Amino acid sequence: MLFNSIDFAVFLPLVFLLYWFVANKKLKIQNFLIVIASYTFYGWWDWKFLSLIIISTIIDYLIGLKLSNEDNKTIRKVLLWTSICVNLGFLGFFKYYNFFLDNFVTAFSFFGNDIKVSSLNIILPVGISFYTFQTLSYSIDVYKRKLVPTKDFMAFSAFVCFFPQLVAGPIERATNLLPQFYKKRKFEYSKAVDGLRQMLWGLFKKIVIADNSAQIANEIFNNSSDYSGSTLVLGALFFTFQIYGDFSGYSDIAIGTSRLFGFELKQNFAFPYFSRDIAEFWRRWHMSLSTWFRDYLYIPLGGSRGGTLMKIKNTFIIFIVSGFWHGANWTFIVWGALNAIYFLPLLLLNKNRINTDVVAQGKNLPTFKEFHNMLITFCLTVIAWIFFRADNIEHAFNYLNTIFSKSLFTIPILDINRNYIMQVGLAVLFFLIIEWKGREKEFAIEKFGFSWKPVYRRCFYVCLIFLISVFLGEEQQFIYFQF
């Protein structure tokens, strides 16, 4: 079920009414309703994959209970690795089986040995990369005694399958979200309104910015050999805004929806395109995944505590694994490695944490230095996104080769209505202005226009709804559903 679908427009109010007016008497009933609603939400795509979530839920719940009563270090490690192997086993099979098989065959063919192996027609379960990491964090935190395992199976099930963030995050930690299922929730009007406001902004990002940028980016990337370098730059720029509007838009809708039910999820994006260096970008982009890899992979590997070689090794591991998490394609691995190359100079020079505040905080405009640094960081990010979007490595390098040719200095020409491109460009410009004005908040319109008279603020919301209706096209799936 998509957030931007008619199905969800019917589903959400129905669950909301049942949750607050029927199931509000007892906490267990509320949690049970969340589980049923979440399974319905997920099963809308393919009910057969519900078995994976249920198996993962039961295994990690039982392992958590066993860990709480076990002091033997060897047994505790066996329990932890059971959770890791089961969860990553599911993820590895569905997401990476054909990738490893194809590369295994290619490697042997390189040495003159032909192996005939048929790949499997495997359908990737939606959201498996997200809920797998969520349940893993629970097992690891219980193993490290950072979290007391729950005995409430219904609360744990609701934590694992909570429908707003089930299929594309944010990847929540049990230490933050699970305790919220133990507490009695009361409807708070101000929280609900704030949630609706964030949902509206998320829908604007998805429908107006992402879906329409995708129309232009897809045309250019899918026919890149027919276009000039200047046109390919245009395609890379529109994809840059497509992926941000798409993914951060999903996170906004997820967080806003959660507030309607009395839950607080962690912020997942913090205006990353206003970053002044790559290190700051990765502190602001997909924050729940970045911090997951930091806490459960980078730090256990030694982090940056060792010598120079260890710092380099760990940095490449964390970024390459992050790239591979996104998909079974060498383009994602190269994308991760390229970001590691961007990041390493900052780390080795101890400059990776010099930009931890909000850019131009309390000011209307950045300084020239801040603007210059933002522009350089943005350009590096756009180049990296080309590998992310390309069909394969050859496609990415051919795309870049055309960009850095003489045709870069020609006027962009493509087979899309020029007026439409201008309209989308103006929508992106409007979007950037609002994002800049609201960069000190959790989401751009959290407090936008609060100094205005209420009637003007409501007119602004009506304007956003009008733009959504004008730019609304064919229902588009979220990019990160494929990850």
* Residue 479 DSSP one-character state: G
Which tens digit of pLDDT belongs to each residue from 6-58?
A: 899 999 999 999 999 988 889 999 999 999 999 999 988 878 889 999 999 99
Determine the distance from the C-alpha atom of residue 224 to the mean position of all C-alpha atoms in its chain, rounded to a whole number: 27
pLDDT of residue 56: 92
List of residues 6+ apart from 166 with CB closer than 8 A = 38, 41, 42, 127, 130, 131
Cα distance between the two ends of the chain? 16
**Separation of alpha carbons 240 and 378, rounded Å:** 9
Determine the distance from the C-alpha atom of residue 286 to the mean position of all C-alpha atoms in its chain, rounded to a whole number: 5
Residue type, position 235, single letter: G
232-249 per-residue burial string, b: 16 or more CB within 10 A, e: under 16: bbbbbbbbbbbbbbbbbb
pLDDT of residue 355: 92
In terms of Cα–Cα distance, which of 203, 195, 141, 137 is closest to 171? 137
pLDDT in single tens digits along all 483 residues of the chain: 788 888 999 999 999 999 999 888 899 999 999 999 999 999 888 788 899 999 999 999 999 999 988 889 999 999 999 999 999 998 888 887 777 676 666 665 655 566 666 666 677 788 888 889 999 999 999 999 999 999 999 999 999 999 999 888 799 999 999 999 999 899 999 999 999 999 999 999 999 999 999 999 999 999 999 999 999 999 999 999 999 999 999 999 999 999 999 999 999 999 999 999 999 999 999 999 999 999 999 989 888 787 888 889 999 999 999 999 988 889 999 999 999 999 999 999 999 999 999 999 999 999 999 999 999 999 999 999 999 999 999 999 999 999 999 999 998 888 888 999 999 999 999 999 999 999 999 999 999 888 888 899 999 999 999 999 999 877 677 887 766
Residue 372 among the catalytic residues: no
Q: Which of 286, 326, 372, 395 is catalytic?
A: 326
147: left (phi over 0), alpha (psi -120 to 50) or beta: beta
**Separation of alpha carbons 207 and 45, rounded Å:** 21
Structure tokens at 125: 């379960």
pLDDT of residue 25: 83
In terms of Cα–Cα distance, which of 11, 19, 443 is closest to 252? 443
